[in-house]
């Protein structure tokens, strides 16, 4: 795999002679003045009213024996602060297009209930609503991303939501907000105009949704008079390039700031397989779908480039992650799964893809934050643990709002039963203080790979690193052994003649820091 070729013939010759007797991957990191910034919002998260993500996960209620702040678990608040999450998407997902926001404000004991038709048919009591979510985002220092109802709502209900959240005062919705205990508006910038409109949002055609989107977006007003709303259109399902084509062609630029994309990683045949008891065949297949993200982003970006050559509209991958069978004995509609080193591989490679496409990809949201799909946090009663995915996201947060450093390399292959995948994934950045970070992933289930890293011209005097690895691909953190997998210092770095030599163990994630 080659990314943004910049190496000189001379350097290539030198490196080739130096490493000719070794099985190595040559990686060159360069500084390019035209390279984009890696938006911190690529490292966003997603919390839906699904299973135990909100109730029994994030939110336990103020009367819970679990230490909490306004009903939200303190241990999760602390964990997400450590993760430096830049934004949080809510309330869905499919749930968003059946959610009527007025049911979730006002006195909790007066709020109506509803049945969550999408996820398990459970009764939703609306005790966690807009105030709870937006106040949580303030506590976390994260930007809220409201996915608002288009599928079963009206323009009036939608625009009243915007007014409730953003208007300072003197309007009916602003005064109602004040009666409900919030004097100042929340200044929410990011708004999803519906969710999966090709499916659970209404099974619409792209052409029909484009017209619906134009209608809703027209009536959205930025009452705070700040830098404007960031309106995100419900985008394509995986490789539905026609959907992106229609939105870019039919929606005027002044009505749209972002186009979404949803793609999950899974076993390619009908059986999704266990999240912990999987074969190498299932692992290989899952990584194949994960690595397709690069193709998806490339092709959707090419369509967007045709209509938006100035790159004013963002590609927003607001649902991504691994999707397997639920854990045995749990509600099939709750999508609760464990999180192994396979998930760390998905997280590392996907984030590298987003980083390397930072010119167009300006936002993304891992699905989901707690107890659902590829979660970063799992809970069980009063217990809480951090998953391998959490650790990768934390290791990678050094790239947030740093400048992309293009990389060039030819990856060795991970071979399985006659098929091949690139084994190595890399991205790099340089922050304002001049510190360089290089993220490397080896997805090979068996082979270690030697990396020769050239940082010529970047002013790096010393290198340090942190690595996430384990003895077995299927290893995970359990409530009995919550610290089984966690990052460790990586000290086996050799520097010779300006080349850093590192050895990547099988299924490992390494982040190097150059100062």
> Are the CB atoms for 29 and 4 separated by under 8 Å?
no
Element (H, E) at 89: strand 87-90
359 assigned to active site: no
Whole-number Å distance between alpha carbons of 404 and 99: 38
Can you read off the two tokens belonging to residue 195?
A: 């969710």
Residue 302 parent element (H or E): helix 280-307
| DSSP per-residue string spanning 217-281 | HHT---TT-SS--EEEEEEEETT-HHHHHHHHHHS-GGG-SEEEEEEEE--SSS----SSS--HH
Angle (deg, nearest 10), helices 280-307 and 341-356? 20
- As a whole number of angstroms, the distance between CA 355 and CA 362 comes to 9
Strands lying side by side in the sheet with 402-404? 37-38, 402-404, 424-430, 436-442, 508-514, 463-468, 488-490
Q: At which residue do the structure tokens 């017209």 appear?
A: 211
Length of the chain: 515
**Known catalytic membership, residue 319:** yes
**Which of 257, 319, 325, 408 does the annotation list as catalytic?**
319
**Residue tagged active-site, from 196, 257, 325, 408:** 196
Please enumerate in sequence order all residues whose Cβ is within 8 A of that of 58, keeping only pairs 6 or more positions apart, or say none. Answer: 47, 72, 73, 76, 128, 136, 369, 370
Q: Is 375 helix (H, G, I), strand (E, B) or coil?
A: coil
Are the C-beta atoms of residues 217 and 231 closer than 8 Å to each other? yes
Residues marked as catalytic: 196, 319
């Amino acid at each position: 795999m080659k990314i943004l070729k910049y190496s000189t013939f001379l350097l290539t010759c030198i490196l080739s002679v130096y490493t000719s007797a070794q099985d190595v991957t040559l990686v060159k990191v360069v500084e390019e003045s035209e390279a984009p910034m890696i938006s911190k919002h690529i490292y966003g998260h997603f919390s839906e009213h699904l299973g135990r993500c909100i109730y029994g996960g994030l939110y336990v209620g103020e009367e819970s024996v679990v230490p909490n702040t306004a009903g939200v678990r303190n241990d999760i608040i602390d964990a997400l602060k450590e993760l430096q999450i830049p934004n949080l998407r809510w309330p869905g997902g499919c749930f968003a297009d059946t959610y009527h926001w007025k049911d979730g404000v006002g006195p909790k004991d007066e709020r109506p209930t509803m049945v969550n038709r999408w996820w398990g048919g459970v009764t939703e009591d609306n005790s966690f609503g807009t105030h709870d979510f937006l106040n949580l985002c303030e506590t976390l220092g994260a930007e809220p991303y409201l996915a608002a109802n288009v599928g079963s709502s009206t323009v009036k209900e939608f625009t009243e939501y915007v007014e409730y959240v953003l208007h300072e005062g003197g309007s009916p919705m602003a005064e109602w907000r004040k009666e409900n205990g919030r004097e100042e508006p929340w200044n929410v910038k990011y708004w999803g105009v519906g969710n999966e409109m090709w499916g659970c949002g209404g099974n619409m055609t792209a052409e029909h949704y484009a017209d619906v989107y134009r209608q809703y977006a027209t009536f959205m007003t930025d009452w705070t008079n700040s830098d404007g709303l960031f309106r995100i259109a419900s985008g394509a399902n995986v490789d539905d390039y026609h959907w992106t084509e229609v939105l870019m062609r039919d929606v005027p630029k002044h009505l749209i700031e972002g186009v979404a994309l949803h793609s999950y990683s899974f076993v390619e045949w009908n059986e999704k397989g266990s999240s912990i008891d999987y074969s190498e065949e299932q692992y290989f297949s899952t990584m194949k779908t994960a690595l397709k993200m690069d193709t998806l982003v490339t092709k959707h970006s090419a369509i967007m480039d045709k209509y938006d050559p100035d790159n004013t509209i963002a590609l927003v991958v607001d649902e991504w992650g691994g999707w397997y069978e639920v854990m045995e004995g749990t509600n099939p509609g709750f999508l609760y799964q464990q999180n192994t080193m396979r998930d760390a591989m998905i997280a590392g490679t996907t984030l590298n893809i987003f980083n390397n496409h930072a010119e167009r990809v300006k936002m993304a949201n891992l699905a989901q934050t707690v107890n659902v799909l590829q979660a970063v946090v799992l809970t069980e009663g009063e217990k809480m643990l951090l998953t391998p995915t959490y650790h990768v996201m934390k290791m990678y947060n050094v790239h947030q709002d740093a400048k992309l450093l293009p990389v060039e390399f030819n990856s060795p292959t991970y071979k399985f039963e006659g098929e091949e995948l690139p084994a190595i994934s890399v991205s790099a950045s340089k922050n304002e203080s001049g510190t360089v970070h290089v993220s490397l992933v080896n997805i090979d289930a068996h082979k270690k790979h030697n990396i020769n890293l050239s940082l010529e011209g970047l002013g790096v005097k010393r290198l340090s690193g942190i690595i996430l690895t384990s003895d077995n691909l299927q290893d995970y953190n359990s409530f009995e052994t919550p610290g089984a997998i966690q990052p460790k210092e990586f000290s086996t770095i050799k520097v010779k003649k300006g080349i850093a030599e590192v050895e990547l163990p099988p299924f490992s994630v390494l982040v190097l820091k150059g100062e």
